[in-house]
Amino acid sequence: MSYNVNEKGYYGDFGGAFIPEMLYPNIEALRQNYLNVMAEPEFQKEFNQLLKDYVGRPSPLYFAKRLSKKFNTKIYLKREDLNHTGAHKVNNTIGQILMAKRLGKTRIIAETGAGQHGVATATVCALMGLECIVYMGEIDIARQAPNVARMKMLGATVIPATSGSKTLKDATNEAIRDWINNPKNTHYIIGSAIGPHPYPDMVTRFQSVISEEIQWQLKEKEGREHPDYVVACIGGGSNAAGTYYHFLDHDDVGIIAVEAAGKGIQSGKSAATSALGKEGIIHGCKTLLMQTKDGQITEPYSISAGLDYPGVGPLHAHLYKTGRAEFYSATDDEAMQAGLELTKLEGIIPAIETAHALAVFTHKTFKPDDIVVISLSGRGDKDLQNYIDYFNL
Amino acid sequence: MNRIHQKLQEDKKLLSIYFTAGYPNLNDTITIIQNLEKSGVDLIEIGLPFSDPLADGPTIQGSSTQALKNGMTTEVLFNQLQDIRKSVSIPLIIMGYFNPILQYGVVAFCEKCQEVGIDGLIIPDLPIDVFEEQYKTSFEKHGLINVFLITPQTSEQRIRYIDSMSNGFIYMVSSASTTGAKSGFGEEQTNYFKRIADMNLNNPQIVGFGISNQETFTQATQYTKGAIIGSAFVKFIKNNPLGDIKNFIRSIIG
Ligand SMILES: Cc1ncc(COP(=O)(O)O)c(C=O)c1O
């Protein structure tokens, strides 16, 4: 069993490129070029240099002593929150902006939920001097105000998505429509491991620096490259894909995904795609998604803007269907408590997205000598208002 | 013979009209189709509404959202169309995004289309290779013509491939845009229409996107077999009684 994408762009039954003809030339150009470009020594050099000097990689692998004690297991945190711009998202935007430049594109568009991907995109556009347009759901603009301000300061134009649930799904629709209307000079930097092939694979490869580092960092600390478990939250699945990547074909590493249950899986206000979803097409790829029995995509809900998405990337649909990964979901309340707990025990305020991954301990008990690596995908600065409101701070 | 083939043989420029099923009201479908036929329209595209219509601009997004709110579903549409062939003989095409069709079951969908008298399908996000490998035989078995899109950015080689896979007409998207975005054609479009006409394809081309009145209809059909009006018609039925459809059509083709 392989967990990598095949030459047709599928992970098992999932993936592909279900796109209208208007998008075909750009997607096809990307498909034909992305692996070659990524393999160029010059590209590698520039990418790695920027990750090091600009993003601040490698991100630390931190042994969380007090958290470990509390849950009676060995917990390491992969500190993507310490990256420049505050989340894992920048690994991908650095890669894609270099790709866009090599494809001769001068105008960058992106969608964003929590605003982390929007900020990471606006940042690399400022760095490269390229025009940047970010689509963001109207509701997310309200709940992630600091990131909206950051994008504007970075010179990006933030356009509200006012259709549907006014969140990430709708922002993605608007970005795709923009690309249809601007096929020549524009590159679309998708922010998660979603969309038509080759996006899920390209984003995964750019994010795979996370698991690459975990291997040698864990070797230094524990004398072994493989943890017993890797854990990540899943919105579309980019931090998860990067955290799992080098362990996918190693059965000694357990893979754990935590989705957002919102108010509860059966509450009608949830974003737990693996539990509630069925196979179908969303944003150009075949995957699991939340939908009515007539195939209309339903509105998800999560307190966390970055997990408020009705699908998962095709890799994760495949990991779910084959049983390679264990899937859990954390409610708003469980995630908020887990976020507060990390803050109190370790002095790290996580993004609310990330707090879902930390809530894994309310769902699964690990053995005392298990080594559990958690992707600390982002920091909580952008969520302060939500924490304040929730806990009446 | 399939009604689309018959229609394509007529020596005239064809006018095709798109509307979203279930809009403005759930049960307008039949009245709209009958009025369009009476008014002299040549082909009808019945839009099966989708929650996330990626290739559509605000007008058709809006009609789709409203149609879904009104209660339109694949099942409801087929029920409405059950007796349609008792009252009209105009070629009917269903245009819809792939996911609702996939959930209905592609084979079941094709069977049902044949049963109610649908002649063809336009599924903008069904890739041509997936169609060829998985669904072509079902379409053929049920007498359905599948219509593919080309755009100004489509390469000549790919246009030839699409032509070889088509058995009715090619839907020629007038410019790089979502539906309803641009109005009026310039030299760029005319050159593109002519370039495609000069390729002497096996399948005639019908132009869509950006056609809203007599002037754009005439421009679009100078080098092609026909043109499709969508957003402009959807806007018209939003603001006018269905009985006035003939006025709209008259304003296009006289
Ligand atoms: C900190 C953080 N973690 C996780 C996510 C979820 O995205 P993904 O599943 O692609 O990692 C986001 C998205 O905005 C985020 O900002």
Alpha-carbon distances of A88 from A56, A83, A273, rounded to whole Å:
11, 7, 22
Mean pLDDT computed over A149-155: 98
Using the predicted structure, report yes or no on whether residue B184 has a pLDDT greater than 90: no
The one-letter amino acid at B196: I
Strands A61-63 and A131-137: unpaired
The token duo for A68 is 């470990």
**Residue A145 and residue A107 share a domain:** yes
> In which residue are the tokens 């750019």 written?
A206
Using the predicted structure, report yes or no on whether residue B53 has a pLDDT greater than 80: yes
Q: Which of A202, A234, A251 is the last residue of a domain?
A: A202
Assign A358 a pLDDT band (cuts: 50, 70, 90).
very high
Task: Report pLDDT for B254.
Answer: 82
Cα-based angle B95, B100, B101 (whole degrees, multiple of 5): 65
In a domain, A12, yes or no: no
Model confidence pLDDT, tens digit, residues B21-44? 999 999 999 999 999 999 999 999
Burial class from Cβ neighbours inside 10 Å (0-12, 13-18, 19+) for residue B198 reads exposed
In a domain, A192, yes or no: yes
Distance CA B107, CA A175 (A): 32
What's the whole-number average pLDDT of chain A? 97
Mapped onto helix, strand or coil, the DSSP state of residue A188 is: strand
Q: Best residue in A13, A30, A289, A296 to probe B by mutation, most B CBs within 10 Å? A: A296
Using the predicted structure, report yes or no on whether residue A392 has a pLDDT greater than 80: yes
**Residue A285 and residue A197 share a domain:** no
The one-letter amino acid at A310: P
**Residue A297 and residue A158 share a domain:** no
Task: Report pLDDT for B181.
Answer: 74
Which residue range is the domain that position A162 belongs to?
A: 17-51+89-202
Inter-residue contact B21 to B72 (CB < 8 Å): yes
Task: Report pLDDT for B232.
Answer: 96
Mean pLDDT computed over A326-340: 98
Model confidence pLDDT, tens digit, residues B84-117? 999 999 999 999 999 999 999 999 999 999 999 9
What's the whole-number average pLDDT of chain B? 96
**Residue A149 and residue A75 share a domain:** no
**Residue A287 and residue A241 share a domain:** yes
**Residue A342 and residue A249 share a domain:** yes
Q: Does B79 touch chain A (CB under 8 A)?
A: no
Using the predicted structure, report yes or no on whether residue A163 has a pLDDT greater than 90: no
What chain B holds in terms of domains, given with CATH numbers, is: 13-253 (3.20.20.70)
Nearest residue CA, atom 12 of ligand 1?
A306
How many A from CA of A217 to the centre of ligand 1?
23
In a domain, A24, yes or no: yes
Mean pLDDT computed over A314-321: 98
Burial class from Cβ neighbours inside 10 Å (0-12, 13-18, 19+) for residue B134 reads exposed
**Residue A114 and residue A247 share a domain:** no
Distance CA B136, CA A306 (A): 39
**Residue A82 and residue A21 share a domain:** no
In a domain, A2, yes or no: no
Among the listed residues A59, A238, A304, A377, the single catalytic one is A377
- Interchain CB distance below 8 Å, A295 and B74: yes
Q: Which of A202, A217, A236 is the last residue of a domain?
A: A202
Mapped onto helix, strand or coil, the DSSP state of residue B236 is: helix
Task: Report pLDDT for B1.
Answer: 75
In a domain, A5, yes or no: no
- The CA R_g of chain A, rounded to the nearest whole Å, is 19
Using a CB-CB cut-off of 8 Å, the residues of chain A touching B99 are: 280-282, 291, 295, 297
**Residue A226 and residue A123 share a domain:** no
Mapped onto helix, strand or coil, the DSSP state of residue A128 is: helix
Assign A149 a pLDDT band (cuts: 50, 70, 90).
very high
Give B98-163 as a DSSP string: HHHHHHH-HHHHHHHHHHHT--EEE-TTS-HHHIIIIIHHHHHHTTPEEE-EE-TTS-HHHHHHHH
In a domain, A4, yes or no: no
Task: Report pLDDT for B176.
Answer: 87
The torsion angle over the Cα atoms of residues B93, B94, B96 and B102, rounded to 10 degrees, is -120
pTM of the model: 0.97
Q: Does B157 touch chain A (CB under 8 A)?
A: no
- Interchain CB distance below 8 Å, B125 and A284: yes
Task: Report pLDDT for A143.
Answer: 81
Closest Cβ opposite residue B178 in set A18, A177, A281: A177
Residue A350 CA: nearest ligand 1 atom is 1
**Residue A70 and residue A115 share a domain:** no
Task: Report pLDDT for A164.
Answer: 78
Using the predicted structure, report yes or no on whether residue B221 has a pLDDT greater than 80: yes
Model confidence pLDDT, tens digit, residues A85-136? 999 999 999 999 999 999 999 999 999 998 999 999 999 999 999 999 999 9
> What percentage of chain A exceeds 90 in pLDDT?
96
* Bond preceding residue B241 cis, omega within 30 of 0: no
Using the predicted structure, report yes or no on whether residue A167 has a pLDDT greater than 90: no
**Residue A367 and residue A319 share a domain:** yes
Q: Does A392 touch chain B (CB under 8 A)?
A: no
Cβ contacts below 8 Å, chain A against chain B, sum to 104
DSSP character at residue A296? P
**Residue A381 and residue A251 share a domain:** yes
A377 catalytically annotated: yes
Using the predicted structure, report yes or no on whether residue B182 has a pLDDT greater than 80: no
Q: Does A291 touch chain B (CB under 8 A)?
A: yes
Task: Report pLDDT for B50.
Answer: 98
Mean pLDDT computed over A256-268: 97
Of the CA atoms within 13 Å of residue B235, those in its CB half-sphere come to 12
Cα-based angle A363, A367, A371 (whole degrees, multiple of 5): 95
In chain B, the residue whose alpha carbon lies closest to the alpha carbon of A284 is B125
- In this structure, what CATH number is given to the domain that contains residue A134? 3.40.50.1100
Q: Does A18 touch chain B (CB under 8 A)?
A: yes
Distance CA A38, CA A34 (A): 6
In a domain, A47, yes or no: yes
Assign A165 a pLDDT band (cuts: 50, 70, 90).
confident
Ligand 1 mutation target, pool A82, A119, A238, A239, most atoms within 8 A of CB:
A239
A111 catalytically annotated: yes
Strands A14-15 and A10-11: antiparallel
Using the predicted structure, report yes or no on whether residue A1 has a pLDDT greater than 80: no
Model confidence pLDDT, tens digit, residues A213-228? 999 999 999 999 999 9
Mean pLDDT computed over A46-58: 98
Number of structural domains (chain A) is: 2
Mean pLDDT computed over A180-209: 97
Distance CA B59, CA A351 (A): 37
ipTM: 0.96
- Interchain CB distance below 8 Å, B100 and A295: yes
Q: Which of A182, A202, A222 is the last residue of a domain?
A: A202
Q: Return the beta strands (E) in chain A as ranges.
A: 10-11, 14-15, 61-63, 74-79, 107-112, 131-137, 157-161, 186-188, 229-233, 254-262, 278-282, 285-289, 325-331, 371-376
